[in-house]
Structure 1
Amino acid sequence: MKKTDPRSKKLTDALRRAGVRITRQRAALLTVLADADDHPEATELQRRAEEAVPGISLSTVYRTLTELENQGVILRHQFEGAPARFEHSETQHHDHMIDVDTGEVVEFANERIERLQAEIADAMGYEIVHHRLELYVRKKAAETGTD
């Protein structure tokens, strides 16, 4: 069984629980979303779904994404200066680096950062309930090695 199949089922079940009808267009969108291992924007999801089933409107994409977010099966990320991006909620905790030049989103996990955040919260008398770390980055210029 492909990884996509359980994801598709989870997304489809979430919409059905919400009373949303699964049309051909929505089914195509759910397949595209289930297959996505990146952080696509709504317009990119629409473009990918259109390849399978022409005629899916951007408003249908947004309504579907909003309902999936309300059901807790996808996450919406609003990175600074960019349209919202979406990913599966089933992923392990990770943080994000956003390349300010290309818009590429890179996931990373770092145990030292996690420990440091917990230590800081504890020292101030708190425990972390939820957190999000976003680093806005730029590729370093290639070093020429000519001195």
Structure 2
Amino acid sequence: MSQSKNRIEELEGILREGGVRVTRQRAAILKILAEAADHPDASELHRRAKEIDATVSLSTVYRTLSALEQQGVVQRHAFENATARFETADAPHHDHLIDIETGAVIEFRSDKIEQLQAEIAAELGYDLVRHRLELYCRKRKD
């Protein structure tokens, strides 16, 4: 069984445990999110879902995202000046760089940043529990 299929089944199991029915339409949306290399917004999810199941409506996408978010399966990102974007909540920790001209969202991880944040928290007498870092950038023209 592929890693993607296992991941989708795990996420579906979380929904079922939370009392959320996994309909054909919800399964399609969950599959798209689990396999996405980007951070789609609801409109993009709707476009992709219609390729799998033409009966998926935009309101179904919004209701499904709400249910997935309530169950902790997806994470909503409200980047500045953009519609909310989504990704599965089980993704390994990473930060985001947002291109302010194109809206592109680039995931990255930096051990230096992770270390510095932990050091700052410790210096102030805290243990770092979690953090969220968003860098808003403009591509260099050189």
Q: Name the TM-score, length of structure 2 as normaliser.
A: 0.91
Q: Describe how 1:1-147 pairs up with structure 2 within 5 A.
A: 1-142=1-142
In structure 2, distance between residues paired with 1:15 and 1:58:
20
Contact 1:37 1:87 in 2 (8 A): no
State the superposition RMSD in angstroms.
1.4
The 3-state SS of whatever aligns with 2:79 is coil
| Structure 2 partner of 1:145 | none
In structure 1, distance between residues paired with 2:11 and 2:62:
15
Contact 1:18 1:67 in 2 (8 A): no
In structure 2, distance between residues paired with 1:56 and 1:5:
21
Q: Report the alpha carbon displacement of residue 49 of structure 1 after superposing the two structures with TM.
A: 0.6
Is there any run of 5+ residues in structure 2 with no aligned partner, and where? none
Q: Which runs of 4 or more aligned residues in structure 1 lie more than 2 Å from their structure 2 counterparts after TM superposition?
A: 17-24
Whichever of the two has the greater Rg, that structure is: 1
**How many residues are paired up?**
142
Contact 1:10 1:73 in 2 (8 A): no
Q: Name the TM-score, length of structure 1 as normaliser.
A: 0.88
Is there any run of 5+ residues in structure 1 with no aligned partner, and where? 143-147
